[in-house]
Chain A
Amino acid sequence: MKPPPFEYHGPVTLGEALDVLAEVGPDGKVLAGGQSLIPLLNMRLAAPAHLVDVNRVPGLDGIEAGPAGVRVGALARHAAVERSPRAAAVQPLLRQALRLVAHPVIRNRGTVVGSLVHADPAAELPAVLALLGGSVRLASRGGEREIPAARFFTGPMESALRPGELAVSAFFPALPARSGTAFHEVARRHGDYAMAGVAAAVTLDEDFTIAAARVACVSVGPVPVVVDVTAACGRRPASSVPWDAVADAVRERIEPEGDIHATADYRRHLTGVLAVRALRDAAGAARGEES
């Protein structure tokens, strides 16, 4: 299990990185944290002719938290974002999700943007971006473009990133006042990819009735599946929401597949259960309760 040979590039500026990427085009692969890419290389399931290691490019490790949301640079490690109190204050779902990403040692090296570009439908961060309606900023020699989550994830392990482009940052919007979030998942072992997982965001009206409720589900489709359950919840306080109906509303919208760890049937059931748990916790958080 050793990587196949490739030409290694270690650009030290963003311009240089984009030049190399333009040059190598579809034969190139970007290395940031490497926690998903290097296993694929070691198993020789990926064999890029060129590897563009952006770890020396300055200025890509930023975590900027402002009233509108959190912008995370391409080299910001999971652990750095998880530990950032400002990021957690602006968008608590980031920390809630990051705690579920693999294990702490993997998070020391893995990057948030890398997880998005990897676009694994079983992963937590794509679901977070999709739920929040965030975006990914892609840079190339020709300029930059900001792609919203809804268009960024195009299929399992597929994104809108084009050859020659580098994902330089991702933006996770903040939620309105009286909003809360939660992330629940069930994995076979602690730290594994989830058999099912649900990120939820709930916004309450001043009278604490539900104004908006959405979930994003992992491992139940080719991309994270976002379901707006505002109508299913109804304009009522969380305590009187017909949760079974909400669970069914979510189950109807997903298309899970079976694999060696879980049947499609179980995934569907589980997603409904987790959606309710996440929504209740999110509603609680929106009221300012500790979940």
Chain B
Amino acid sequence: MNETRHRVTLTVNGVVREATVPGRRLLSDCLRHDLGLTGTHVGCEHGVCGACTVLLDGEPVRSCLTLAVTVDGHEITTVEGLARDGEPSPVQRAFAECHALQCGFCTPGFLCTLTAFLRDNPAPTEEEALEAVAGNLCRCTGYQNILKAVHRAAELQAEEGGA
């Protein structure tokens, strides 16, 4: 019972990476175990918790609901790729400033989701911010500080854009 293996080439955080994986390898496992990028976490493996969210060609997707072979040739951004020149991104800084994480396990999924969200909507309303975080589970924070961080990140992003 030997499985066919497929060669996949992914551009992860700007770096071309290759892996040879069975058809059934989840993108989450490929990133974590084949490519050693363990910042992407797996909380449910059925698409509900959002901890595994990464950016696929810039758009947030559940990496536990994506096969690695399907995204052969595409660009992936993980939490490890959000910082610019070693400096945490506005979303990352806002999370630390606002105490928007406790155990930190769900955090990478929130960060990836919000990075794309604030790119598309740099000045969200309360309601839009709520909708943006509403597909990710966090068991620690009660979300209040995460919502605060969305707005703080928008401010930081605006400051950076203006600088």
A and B touch in the complex (CB under 8 A): yes
Q: Which stretch, A101-109, A154-162, A273-281, touches the partner chain B?
A: A101-109
The verdict on A176 contacting chain B, using a C-beta distance below 8 Å, is: no
| Closest-CB distance, A103 to chain B (whole angstroms) | 3
From A35, A51, A104, give the contact of B132 (CB < 8 A).
A104
A53–B6 CA distance with the chains assembled, in angstroms: 14
User: In the complex, are the beta carbons of B50 and A105 less than 8 A apart?
Assistant: yes
The verdict on A86 contacting chain B, using a C-beta distance below 8 Å, is: no
CB within 8 Å of B: which A82-138 residues? 102-106, 108-109
CB within 8 Å of B: which A193-233 residues? none
Residues of A bordering B, CB below 8 Å: 1-8, 10, 31, 34-35, 38-39, 41-43, 51, 53, 55, 79, 102-106, 108-109, 190-191
From B29, B50, B53, B69, give the contact of A8 (CB < 8 A).
B69
From B45, B61, B70, B72, give the contact of A105 (CB < 8 A).
B61
* Interfacial chain B residues near A31, Cβ < 8 Å: 67, 70
Residues of B in contact (CB 8 Å), total 32
| Closest-CB distance, A20 to chain B (whole angstroms) | 13
CB within 8 Å of A: which B46-79 residues? 46-47, 50, 53, 56, 59-62, 64-67, 69-70, 72
Those 9 A-B pairs whose CB atoms lie nearest each other, nearest first: A8-B23, A103-B135, A39-B46, A1-B45, A3-B24, A38-B65, A105-B60, A109-B61, A108-B59
Residue-by-residue, is B24-50 near A (CB-CB < 8 Å gives 1, otherwise 0)? 101001000000000000000111001
* Interfacial chain B residues near A51, Cβ < 8 Å: 23
* Interfacial chain B residues near A105, Cβ < 8 Å: 50, 53, 60-62, 113, 135-136
A35–B29 CA distance with the chains assembled, in angstroms: 17
Closest residue of chain A to B130 (Cβ to Cβ) is A190
* Interfacial chain A residues near B65, Cβ < 8 Å: 34-35, 38-39, 106, 109
Closest residue of chain B to A38 (Cβ to Cβ) is B65
The verdict on B3 contacting chain A, using a C-beta distance below 8 Å, is: yes
Q: Besides the contacts A8-B6, A106-B47, what 13 more A-B pairs have beta carbons closer than 8 Å?
A: A1-B46, A3-B26, A5-B1, A6-B23, A8-B67, A8-B69, A38-B26, A38-B47, A38-B65, A106-B135, A109-B65, A109-B66, A191-B134
* Interfacial chain A residues near B61, Cβ < 8 Å: 105, 108-109
User: In the complex, are the beta carbons of A191 and B135 less than 8 A apart?
Assistant: yes
* Interfacial chain B residues near A35, Cβ < 8 Å: 47, 62, 65
| Closest-CB distance, A272 to chain B (whole angstroms) | 28
Of listed B46, B59, B62, residue having the most chain A CB within 10 A: B62
| Closest-CB distance, A214 to chain B (whole angstroms) | 29
* Interfacial chain B residues near A108, Cβ < 8 Å: 56, 59-61
Closest residue of chain A to B53 (Cβ to Cβ) is A105
The verdict on B125 contacting chain A, using a C-beta distance below 8 Å, is: no
Closest residue of chain A to B64 (Cβ to Cβ) is A42
User: In the complex, are the beta carbons of B69 and A53 less than 8 A apart?
Assistant: yes
Between-chain CB contacts (< 8 Å), 29 pairs: A2-B24, A2-B29, A3-B26, A4-B24, A8-B6, A35-B47, A35-B65, A38-B47, A39-B45, A39-B47, A42-B64, A51-B23, A53-B67, A55-B70, A102-B135, A103-B134, A104-B135, A105-B50, A105-B60, A105-B61, A105-B62, A105-B136, A106-B62, A106-B135, A108-B60, A109-B62, A109-B66, A190-B134, A191-B135
Closest residue of chain A to B112 (Cβ to Cβ) is A105
Of listed B24, B46, B56, residue having the most chain A CB within 10 A: B24
The verdict on B122 contacting chain A, using a C-beta distance below 8 Å, is: no
| Closest-CB distance, B160 to chain A (whole angstroms) | 24
* Interfacial chain A residues near B59, Cβ < 8 Å: 79, 108
A43–B46 CA distance with the chains assembled, in angstroms: 8
A5–B23 CA distance with the chains assembled, in angstroms: 8
| Closest-CB distance, B31 to chain A (whole angstroms) | 15
